[in-house]
Structure 1
Amino acid sequence: MREAEAHEPNDPNAMALATATPDGRPSVRTILLKGADRRGFVFYTNLESRKGEELEANPQAALLFHWKSLRRQIRIEGPVERVSDEEADRYFASRSRNSRLGAIASDQSRPLPDRAIFEHRIAEATARYEGQEPPRPPNWSGFRVIPQIIEFWQDRPYRMHDRATWTREGEGWDVTRLYP
C-alpha cells in the first residue's frame, strides 16, 4: 500500500468489492479502503445500499486492488463482519462535514427521480445541524472483510506473471505459488 500511495496518481486505496445476493447473483463496484490491520480490510457504506443489503444477507465478499502503474494486483476473499459502533462513529467523525451531511441526506442506491430532491435534502440537513456536529445515521456503518485467501499478482514480460496465494490455515497461512 505504501508503494501504491507513492506511485498511483489517484486513489491508491481504491478497490473493487464483489458481493452476491443469497441466490448467487454477483455485483461489483469500486469503493475505497478505509482501514486495514491484522483483523481485515475495512470500508464504510449505507447499510441500506445494495452492497449493504447483500453483505447482510450473504456475508462473503471479494476485494481487488489493481495498481496499473505498478503492474500489480491483490485479490482478497473472505467473510465479512460489521465494524463496532465505536469504529463507525470514529471514522464518520473524521469525514468532512459535507460528506457527513451527504450521508445523512442520501438514500444510497435507491431511485432518485430528480437531483434537486437530493440537493434539497442536503440543504435541510445543513440547516438542521447548523452549529453542531452531524451524527452518524443508524443506517451507516462499516464492514470488515476477514481475509481467508489473498492472491498477489505481479506482471512479468511475455505474460509470464508471478502469482502466489496465501490461504488461512488456523492462525497461520499456507503459501502456494501459481502458474501464470
Structure 2
Amino acid sequence: MSTDPITLFSEWLVEAEASEPNDPNAVALATANAEGQPAVRMVLLKGHDATGFIFYTNQQSRKADDLTADPKAALLFHWKSLRRQVRVEGSVSVVDDATADAYFASRSRVSQLAAWASDQSRPLPDHGTLSARLQEVTRRFEDMDVPRPPHWSGYRVSPTSIEFWRDGAHRLHERRLFTREGDRWSEGLLYP
C-alpha cells in the first residue's frame, strides 16, 4: 500500500470511478460560520494534487460566506460500493484566477450560463424567475464565449490530516491516519 496519502487517495478514486454508479467524485463539505454553526452539503471534487482538493462554487453562497469567516473545512468521501471512506481536514484558500478560468471554460455552456443566472443560496420566489434569468443571460452571451462570473471561483482544501477507512468484518475496520508535519506526512493507525 502507498505511504503517500495523495497517491493512495488517487488510487482509491480510480477504483471508485470504476465501481460507483453516480458521481464518484461527490464529497460532503463541512464548514462553520462566524458563530460556529456547522453546515454540510455535497459538492463535486474537480481536482486534487499534493497542494489539496479543489471544488468550485458561487462566492456569494453560504459555503463561501462560511469559508470567509472560518477558512477551514472537512471533506468526506463515501464510496458505498467499495465500503470505504476518506476524511480530509485542512485550511481553505481560493484558487488563482487562471485555475478558475481554465475549469470554468471546461464546463458545459448551460452550466456556465447557470453560474450567471443563479443567486446561489438566496431565496428564490419561484422556478419561473430562475428560468427567466437563464433566458436573459443566454441572450446576453449569444454568439460569444461565456466568461467566468467575478463571483464564481474554486476553493482548495489543503489537508492537515487525511484518514482512510476500510470496512472490516465484525466492525474491526481499518483506519489509517496521515498527519502533515511541515512538508512531510506521518502515518498511524486508529482503533475502529
TM more than 0.5: yes
AA of the residue aligned to 1:66: H
Shift of 1:164: 1.3
2:97 pairs, out of 77, 82, 85, with 85
Q: CA deviation at 1:176?
A: 1.2
Given the alignment of the two structures, is residue 122 of structure 1 paired with residue 134 of structure 2, yes or no? yes
Q: With structure 2 as the length reference, what TM-score do the two structures score?
A: 0.93
1:178: which partner in 2?
Answer: 190
Q: Deviations over 1:18-68 (max 9, x none)?
A: 000122110000110000011000000000000011111110000000000
| Counterpart secondary structure, 2:105 | helix
Residue among 40, 45, 50 paired with 2:62: 50
**TM-score normalised by L of structure 1:** 0.99
CA deviations 1:82-114 (Å, max 9, x no partner) are 000110000000000000000000000000011
**Hey, what does 2:14 align to over in structure 1?**
2
Match for residue 61 of structure 1 among 50, 73, 96 = 73
Once the two structures are TM-superposed, the CA of residue 171 in structure 1 deviates from its matched residue by 1.1
Please name the residue that 2:10 is paired with.
Answer: none
Q: CA deviation at 1:69?
A: 0.2
Where does residue 99 of structure 1 map in the other structure? 111
Counterparts of residues 159-170 of structure 1 (less than 5 Å): 159-170=171-182
Match status 1:112 vs 2:129: no
Q: Larger helix proportion, structure 1 or 2?
A: 2
Deviations 1:144-171 (A, max 9, x none): 0000000010001111100010000111
In structure 2, the residue matched to 1:156 is 168
Q: Which runs of 5+ in 2 are unaligned?
A: 1-12
Q: Does 1:132 align with 2:141?
A: no
Q: What SS is found at the alignment partner of 2:82?
A: coil
Kindly report the root-mean-square deviation, in angstroms, between the aligned alpha carbons of the 2 structures: 0.5
Amino acid at match of 1:64: L
Q: Partners in 1 of 2:186 and 2:48 — Cα distance?
A: 21
Q: How many residues align?
A: 180
Aligned residues with identical type, % of pairs: 61
Q: Gapped runs of 5+ residues in structure 1?
A: none
Matches of residues 32-47 of structure 1 in structure 2 within 5 Å?
32-47=44-59
Map 1:64-75 onto structure 2 (within 5 A): 64-75=76-87
Structure 1 segment 5-44 matched on structure 2, within 5 A: 5-44=17-56
One-letter amino acid of the structure 2 residue matched with residue 4 of structure 1: A
